[in-house]
Structures are given as structure tokens and as C-alpha cells.
Structure 1
């Protein structure tokens, strides 16, 4: 059996079901992960998203774990952050979530973590796991493990989230559940907190019939309209597995993750002065400036939940944020939880009389622009490395924490390979529009010169 190299990505395993990823391959990776986690007697949680292929892949992966001698706690159909919660709260040895997050419905994969929800990712065990899975001599344990369903798990998880949030006045929220896992949790959590809820695409459906399970300006067009028409205090669009939330203010504007990170910094940091805040390398300079103004300390990380979560756990940071709208919280063990993030935004708004739009308009802003470019997985890393060398050769100050970030007095641009798709991503920010246009042209020229 050949297991394709390319399904092992920077912070998860992902491929097209029936092409890159089959039941046989899933069982083999399950066996490998079981051994990687310690084998006989280890306790591993497994959950899945709503994709049509998820039950088959979960069953196959579970068989692999059992053959490695592991005991499996099956938490069923849950958002990804709930799986992480299970691993930490129940003091398990590891966990696996069957999901391809925001990818189209034909995709699927596995997000893997160890004790304490420490992610298995590039440089943090993924290479070792890949070697085990591709080892033809990997053996089964003589003693097989057992499967224990955890029927009441979702109620336990939602009760935990409720215990961490206090909404002090009635709000109206509009939710786009993307027919994903958050359909099972978000509406009833908001209702239990006394909020009025308008829910769109609220039936779990792994075909994602209404739009792809990725909250973008395009897919959230209906939610934008509903927020304004219903006079909602804010709107939230969730991705397919619930670890990301994109917010819409009361004027119907889609907000970048940077804006929400900045507002949550204002909410959190005065309560714990001097705390650390984790930002990804693509975050706006505005957020860094606000953290420093409020007496906090900025820690910069690679893009991606595996790296941010690892940094959160290692540093004890208060919150973390990514431009892509992943938001992380110390009080839930550094986990990026889209539903929890939206509940905390409700808490924040309930404590003040100003609308979300007013808070956003008070934030400083620098013009920015992002664009993706198609590049095969097998060449995208090489292309970015070449661009970094070219920039350094002409004396440009660069940061190579994740891709290459070129720093100028007028702004910066970041060119990095996507960790989940065959793309190179460009992000540019500058102090004014003229500088933005100039930096964008320079950066795009570097990329297009290498695109066949």
C-alpha cells in the first residue's frame, strides 16, 4: 500500500477522499498514530465532522488505533475544539479529529494532537508519524484496544463553555453555521445566554449545499444582509469544523481577524496587565501597536493553529489571534474555538453601550491587500525560498519565520506557501495607499516571475 507523501501537511493530514485518502490508508495512519502515542493501554479520543466520508474514515482510523493496543474514546460528531477539550479535560494521551476543515466536500483528513492538546505538526512529530505510517514492517499489538462511546460528551463540552462566559444584557446575533459542526452547539449556547438568535444553514450536511464551509466575503453575503435587516448586534460565520469564526458588525461589514484580535486585546489585557499576546506573522501592525500601548508583550508565531497553540501553551499567553480569524484563549488551554470566540465577543458587547461598528471604527487602520497564487505543492516551498534569497541579495530586511516577510519603512509584504492547499499566499500592509500599491506590485512581480 502506497501512502502519498503530500497528504502529510504542515499541521494536519489532508487529501481527496477515494483518491489520496482511503479507508485502508486511514487504518494504517491510525496504527501509526497509536504506536506514536505509546501503544498498548494509551487512551485516544476520536471525533468527526459532518463530511459524508467522515464515518468511514473514523471507523478505519479507530481500527488502526485498536490494533496498536490503544483504547479509544469516541466523542462522535463534534466541532474540532471539542475534541481538543476532551483530550485536555479527560487527561488523555492523544486525540484525532476527522475533518478537512474549510476544504470542499470531497476532501477529508485528520487533525492530531497529543497529551495536553499539543498538536502533531511539521517539526513537532509529523515527520515521525509519516515515517511510521510508511514503514512496511509496522506491526500490530498482540493485545487489542477497546472502543468506548462517550454519549454525553457534547453536553459536557457546552456546559464548560457556558461556565466561562457571562452575557449581561440581551443581544441579537445572526449565525451562518455553514451546515457544519457548529450547528450542534452555537445556536443553543447563545440562547442559553439569553441572546436572540437568527440561524442560517443550520442543518448539519456534509455536502455543504449552500456554500463552501469557509467564511469569506462571498460566502457570507447572505449573512451580511440578514445582520442589517434583522438589526442584529453582530453576525458570525463559522467554518466547517468550528475552529474559526469570522465576524460581521452591525453595519454588515466583514471584519478581518486582526480587528477582532485587537478588540479582544482591549477586553482582556486591562484585566491581566503585562500579559503576552500571540500574533501570527501576517497580523496587522495595528494589533502589535495596541498590545504595546496597553502594556502587553507581543510574541510572533508561524501561521497555523498548531504553531499558535504550541506557543500559547509554552508561554502561557493570555490570548492569540491570526489574520485568518482563528482566535485562541488561555482559559480554554490555548485552544482556537470559533464558538467560544463568538461567545466572548457577545460578553464584551454586553458590558458596553457602543455597537460593534463603533468599536471597529475607533481602531487605527493601515491599508492592506491579500492575494493567492496557484502553485503545485511540490514547488511552492522552493519558490518562496528563491524569493527570500533574491530579497536578501539586494539588502532587504527579511523575517523567515514562516515564508519570507520583507520589512520596509513604509510597510511590509509576506510571501508564504499555504499549509493546506497548492497555493502561495501574498499579504501586503503599508502606511498609506500609495505605498501599498507600490509594495504589492513589487511582491507580485517576484511571484509571477516564477509562475509557469
Structure 2
């Protein structure tokens, strides 16, 4: 089981047992009782097979703690985040992009995910004895109306704009389609039945073969692929080619620069250099955060940033609307772009290549020892080393490599960006050295 600001995640029936789900639900319920006078919690889940039984456990434990529960059913994570602003707490039952055998609990406070200090406080909470029983309500979200009121339809410049949507059998079903209908965006959909998909849950790493074919054959402007809980969006271009997830963030930032005049952005330190270059080319300022949605949000608050996100997850964040990665909002913004803006972004991103992989690790490994050995081995290759989140080696103006532990899995993530000519040999060199160090520990 993995516990971090990204949530509590594990393999259901294995390390994420019914007992653990009940314990964390009661802990969260007690946390709400300790911090709020009005005890309300809105919940939702993605379409994972284990979601139903976990939801029942969560509801029972929250009601037992005296928390009134407002249930959205199957709904995307950004829908829950938006709705959570009306309640004391919120809880999303999801493991986001992890394999379908996984599930988890994502706890929210104050309309956002937990910061590291919040997580510490929640985990230290002692479960209280129950007294009063909370009430249960089945509700509908106001998200679709909210987004139409927030992003004017006048932004939609392309009457002939047509897209393909790969729902991935996830929570975006019955949301993304209705949203694009509201903006009169024409679309063709695949994998649009809840719980049924011909591809894996993570479009940032899974090949989107069907969507690429759909776009190419039907001469669509874009293809949009959502992950299981709808917070990530990966794009297929008009030639039927799957783009790297950083392109989502780049296009969204271009959209809010053009439509909203935004100037201040925060992006995670594993995001593409093309995003930073675009913002600076248009007179804006970029701040860098640790990887992780909550880390980006926290840095946004500190710097008064208007938007940003995580390039590596295809995750765009606009905190004035939703304090999380929002694939639905991203699809609307990208659908508003004119061809000149799209071309500018694609030309800029084509200068770089990203390679991102993960290597399973023993959760008991001495992380300090591992990173000290990696630093000693690789420091001579770099012009600068950033150690705020793992180790990021800046190699030159167009190249970097980042080694860090995953927030969501027992894995070492190795990410690299460089020019197309240098990326592959550079990655091979660094990957082999890192894995050799790990295997000797």
C-alpha cells in the first residue's frame, strides 16, 4: 500500500484490504469532526470493478462517524473537486492511472487535495467513538453548468472543429460528451461504456491505437483520451499520431494565454522545457514545483499563479475553477484554439523528446543511500543539480534527467528530456548507470 499526498492506494483484496479502507475512512471522518462544525462529505468513484464495494464501506464508516454523505456516484475527479467547495470534506475512490486491480482513497479538504502537512495531521488523527449517525443523499453535480458559465462559448472559434474521444471506459463517460455538446464540438467516441475498454487505464503510457485510427480515418482535428478518473488528458494530433502528455499542458497554457491573458504559471519540475519557453515567449513567468498535483497547487498559492500543471501526466490545473488536474476543462480549452496557436505549440514541442520510464523497487530500500550513490555517479555529467524532489540533473540548455520515487507506486521514476538526436543515447547511458547502482544496493 502506498500512502502519499496523491492518496492511499493499493491492490484491492491484497495490501488494500477492506479493514484498511474502513480504518482510513473512519480516520478521515474523525478528522472532519475535529476540524469542522458542519459535518458533510461529498464522495464519488471511478469505474473500477472494486469501486462499488469500497464505496459502500466508505459510506458506512462516514455515516458511523456522524458525517452526512452526499454521493455523486461514478464521476470524474475534477467534478468531485469542483463540488467539494460546497462541503466540509470530500473523498474520491480512485487509483487514477494505476492498473485496474488497484484502488484507493483520495482525501480532500477546503476544495483541494491534502498538502504534506495536512496528510501528517490526518494520519495522526485518532478514531473517535461514534454517537450520531449521519444522513445519506444521492446528488447530481453542477459541474457541466459551472464550466459553461466559466469558459464562455464565445471562445469556441472553430465551428468545424471535430474530435475523437476515447473515454477509456472511465468516469469521463456521460460527462466529456455532454460537455463538448454544450460547446457544439462535433465528436466520435470509443470505449464509451462504463467499465469496458480495449486499452489500459493510463493514456500517458498506453498506446492509443484505436483513437489514432479513428482520428486519421475520419480526418478529425484532435483525439482526446481520458484516464479512468478523468483528470488526465492525452492528445492525438490530426495526423493520427499520439502526442506526449506535455503537449496537453502546453496547448492548455497557450489557450489561457490567448483567451484569458494569463501571465503567471506553475509547472512541475518534470514538465517539458517547451512549456517554459512558450510562456516566456509570450511575456509570462514560470514557477517550478515538486511533482504531484497537491505540490503544484501549493506552489500556485504561494506564487499567485493563474494556471499550470504537470506535463508528465497530461494534467492541466486552473485553481480558480478546480484545484486539481482537469481533463474535462483541458478538452474545452484545446477545442477553442485556432490553427496558428496549435501550429506554434506543435513547432515548439517538436524540438524536444521526452522519455519517461519506471523501475519497480523494494519499498524497504534505503532511499538516502541510493540517491547518494546516484548523485556521486552522475554529478559530473551535469551543469546543475536540483534536489527538491529526487535528483534533477540539468545537463545543458535543452537536456535534463530526473530520478525520483513515485508518489503512487513502489517504483523509481526515470525521466529525461533532450533534443531528438541526443535523447535516446543519453537515456540509455543514464538508465543503465542508475539501474546498475540500484541492483548493487
Q: TM-score, normalised by structure 2?
A: 0.90
**Structure with the larger RCO, 1 or 2 (CA within 8 Å, 6+ apart):** 2
Q: How does 1:402-441 map to 2 (within 5 A)?
A: 402-409=389-396, 411-431=399-419, 433-434=421-422, 437-438=425-426, 440-441=428-429
Q: In the alignment, does 2:152 pair up with 1:162?
A: no
Q: In the alignment, does 2:174 pair up with 1:179?
A: no
Q: Cα distance, 1:163 vs. partner?
A: 2.2
Q: Cα distance, 1:223 vs. partner?
A: 0.4
Q: Cα distance, 1:400 vs. partner?
A: 1.2
Tell me: CA distance 1:270–1:185, structure 2 relative to 1, closer, same or farther (3 Å). Answer: closer
Q: Cα distance, 1:209 vs. partner?
A: 4.5
Tell me: CA distance 1:14–1:383, structure 2 relative to 1, closer, same or farther (3 Å). Answer: farther
Matched residue count: 431
Whole-Å separation in 2 of the counterparts to 1:180 and 1:292:
36
Whole-Å separation in 1 of the counterparts to 2:133 and 2:247:
49
Q: Does the aligned pair in 1 maintain the 2:248–2:330 contact within 8 Å?
A: no
Q: In the alignment, does 2:7 pair up with 1:30?
A: no
Whole-Å separation in 2 of the counterparts to 1:339 and 1:393:
41
Gaps in structure 1 of 5+ consecutive residues: 1-5
Q: In the alignment, does 2:276 pair up with 1:281?
A: no
| Match among 139, 143, 150 for residue 132 of structure 2 | 143
Tell me: CA distance 1:354–1:21, structure 2 relative to 1, closer, same or farther (3 Å). Answer: same
Aligned to 2:99, the other structure's residue is in SS state coil
Q: In the alignment, does 2:351 pair up with 1:365?
A: yes
| Match among 74, 87, 98 for residue 71 of structure 2 | 74
Q: CA RMSD in A?
A: 2.5
Aligned to 1:224, the other structure's residue is in SS state helix
Whole-Å separation in 2 of the counterparts to 1:184 and 1:124:
36
Task: Give per-residue Cα distances to partners, 1:52-103, cap 9 Å, x unaligned.
Answer: 2212111211222222222222122111111111111x1x211000111122
Give 2:257's aligned residue: 269
Tell me: CA distance 1:407–1:356, structure 2 relative to 1, closer, same or farther (3 Å). Answer: closer
Give 1:198's aligned residue: 188
Q: Does the aligned pair in 2 maintain the 1:176–1:201 contact within 8 Å?
A: yes
| Match among 112, 115, 125 for residue 118 of structure 1 | 112
Aligned to 2:4, the other structure's residue is in SS state coil
Give 1:242's aligned residue: 230
Aligned to 1:111, the other structure's residue is in SS state strand
Q: Cα distance, 1:124 vs. partner?
A: 3.0
Task: Give per-residue Cα distances to partners, 1:210-269, cap 9 Å, x unaligned.
Answer: 222111464311100110101111001100000000011101122223223223333322
Q: In the alignment, does 2:208 pair up with 1:220?
A: yes
| Match among 108, 118, 121 for residue 128 of structure 1 | 121
Give 1:260's aligned residue: 248
Give 2:372's aligned residue: 386
Q: Cα distance, 1:292 vs. partner?
A: 1.7
Give 1:338's aligned residue: 327
Q: In the alignment, does 2:80 pair up with 1:83?
A: yes
Q: In the alignment, does 2:355 pair up with 1:328?
A: no
363-372 vs 411-420, greater mean Cα deviation: 363-372
Aligned to 2:234, the other structure's residue is in SS state strand
Q: Cα distance, 1:431 vs. partner?
A: 4.6
Q: TM-score, normalised by structure 1?
A: 0.88
